[in-house]
Copies of this chain bind each other. A is one copy, B any other.
């Protein structure tokens, strides 16, 4: 697998870099960003994978969250993939909507044509990308996963389904119960088809009901988030975690909204949380 480096910026003594590569999983070129903290110059560092939300790319978290400052202090690499396959050959929402198709891969493996050829974001994130990262960069196999909104859904589902592969999970404003909200229903119907029995495998609240290996999980949710009631439904995740006695810390943050201004306000907490589990 070859990587093409397309940008480099020094930040907090380390380096933020963008790469593109051809993905065999999603059958198109993919871009990702990696922040390598100063410690990576002399040792292998653990990795936090950041999964972004609807409409985002690898760039949002790297430009807006301030994550690199704390990553540089703690010695954690940050990897931010794109939120969907891209390119002229990749099918999009028929009306170009923001919540399906390009920029809206939902971190699942699509089964429905025409989306199943490219929309294999679950396998890309869980299988292809970590191998690529661990081959090409000075990183250890200690991994954690975090994300925002659709990416919070991605982080929780991927972490719960692969507890052996990640040390900890965190999320901001995650779509906690996609099978019961408009964003999730539209996406799952389009990518997975109308047979809802296939949907639960990508639903954080449903997965939580069967979680046995329990890796630590931190979730922050803004109380003034416009999407809270209709789309995010943290109460479903909380309820399932209670029944399952899952070590979920879910914090309702008074007055905060759905934006990166909210994310940046608590990014230090999330990195220190992951560091406890990534760095022994």
Contact = CB atoms under 8 A, between A and B. Distances in A.
A68 to B, nearest CB: 7
Interface residues of A, number: 22
A125 to B, nearest CB: 25
How many of these chains are in the complex? 2
Contacts of A260: 63
Interface stretch (A6-14, A113-121, A207-215): A6-14
Interface stretch (A176-184, A190-198, A235-243, A261-269): A261-269
A224 interface: yes
A185 interface: no
B63 A257 contact: no
A264 B69 contact: yes
Interface in A22-62: none
A256 interface: yes
A10 B63 contact: no
B16 A261 contact: yes
Nearest to A63: B64
A13 B11 CA distance: 26
A66 B69 contact: yes
A255 interface: yes
Contact of A9 (B9, B16, B63, B259): B259
Interface in A233-280: 255-257, 259-262, 264-265
A265 B63 contact: no
Contact residues of A: prevailing secondary structure: mixed
A261 B66 contact: no
A66 B11 contact: no
A262 B9 contact: yes
Contacts of A264: 11-12, 66, 68-69
Nearest to A224: B10
Interface string A68-81: 11000000000000
Interface string A206-228: 00000000000000001010000
A75 to B, nearest CB: 16
Contacts of A13: 265
A66 B256 CA distance: 17
A267 to B, nearest CB: 9
Given A9-B259, A10-B262, 18 more contacts: A9-B261, A9-B262, A10-B222, A10-B224, A10-B255, A10-B257, A10-B265, A11-B264, A11-B265, A12-B264, A12-B265, A63-B63, A63-B260, A66-B69, A66-B264, A68-B261, A69-B264, A69-B265
- For the complex of A and B, the 7 pairs showing the least CB-CB separation, nearest first, are A66-B66, A9-B261, A10-B255, A11-B261, A12-B265, A10-B256, A11-B265
27 contacts: A9-B257, A9-B259, A9-B262, A10-B222, A10-B224, A10-B255, A10-B256, A10-B257, A10-B261, A10-B262, A10-B265, A11-B261, A11-B262, A11-B264, A11-B265, A12-B264, A12-B265, A13-B265, A16-B261, A64-B64, A66-B66, A66-B69, A66-B264, A68-B261, A68-B264, A69-B264, A69-B265
